Structure formats: structure tokens, C-alpha cells
Amino acid sequence: MSPCAYAGRIVLVSGQDVIAEHRRRFTRNVSYFEPWHYVPLLDRKPGALRNGAPFVDWQLPEAMHQIREHYMAGKGGDREFVDLLLLAQDHGIEVVETACELAVEQNTLRLPAITNLINQLVEPIITPLNEGYSYPQLTLRPEADCKRYETLCSAEEAAA
């Protein structure tokens, strides 16, 4: 892994892969943080979300900010919001932002509801089968027969 600096940016690369990319700032005695860089650490220490330096003035999309305020008002809200942030790292901020906007619009701010909205946005739409489709019908009623199972197992062992 090696750092490179170009055009006001620091890029960490490993082989051909870009590991991290940050803007360079030349101000003395001032710390700059990229909050998304620290989100994985919140999984172990969700309380850092309240007072951690990277998250103090974090500018989130409006819907996510509303949900953060809602969660932080309740007990255990730190953990729920961290779980939402981790979903953003898995599915992308655009998807989670859209799900949060829908959740605020529908007034369903609970994490399972937002997770469901994310899944609806990410998963492909399954088209229903047309009315003319007929499922195969059984011609023989299934019978429980343990001897048949044992026969199949012994035949499989003999083949191996």
C-alpha cells in the first residue's frame, strides 16, 4: 500500500486497487474528518456517533438527518442509526437516501421498515405469471416411506 498525492488529493493504492481517497487540506491546527471513513468503527462503538469528532457537524441528506434525530432521541438509537449507515455502505448512499425519503414520506421511521424499503429498491421486480399458466399436478399421492429413503442412500453409497 502506498500513498500518492496529486491535484489536491491523497490516494492510497495497493497494487492496482484504490483503497482510499481524501482531499488534501493545508490548514494548521485544524482537523478535517471524512465521516464515512469512520462508519465501520461505529459498528463496535455506536456511542461515538453522538460525540465523535468526525460526526459532530456531519452533513447528511435531509431525510437521513431527520431519521438520525428521531433515533438519537430514543434509547438504543445510536445502534439503529449505525445499522442504517452500514446499510448505506453495503447498498450505496443513493439507495439508502431514497429509502429514507420514502420512510419519512410514509412516516415509518423504524429500521426494519427502512430495511424493507431498501430491499424493495435493490431487489429485482418479479413479474407475476400470467393467468393461463398451470402448475404441474401430482398424479400419485406422496407416501412417507423410510425404506425408500434408505434404499436411495445405500445406492448413493454404492456409487461412491
Cα distance between the two ends of the chain: 48
Q: What is the pLDDT of residue 101?
A: 95
R_g of the chain computed on alpha carbons:
26
Q: What is the pLDDT of residue 65?
A: 92
**Local confidence pLDDT in tens for the 160 residues of the chain:** 545 545 567 777 788 887 777 666 666 777 777 788 888 888 898 888 888 888 888 889 999 999 999 998 888 888 999 999 999 988 999 999 999 999 999 998 999 999 999 999 998 777 777 777 677 788 888 777 778 778 887 877 777 6
Q: What is the pLDDT of residue 11?
A: 76
Element (H, E) at 66: helix 62-72
Q: What is the pLDDT of residue 96?
A: 94
**Which residues touch 39 (CB under 8 Å, ≥6 apart)?**
82, 85, 86, 88, 89
Q: What is the pLDDT of residue 84?
A: 94
**How is residue 15 annotated by DSSP?**
T
Q: What is the pLDDT of residue 139?
A: 84
Taking only the tens place, the pLDDT of each residue in 8-40 is: 677 777 888 877 776 666 667 777 777 888 888
Q: What counts of helices (H) and strands (E) characterise the chain?
A: 7, 3
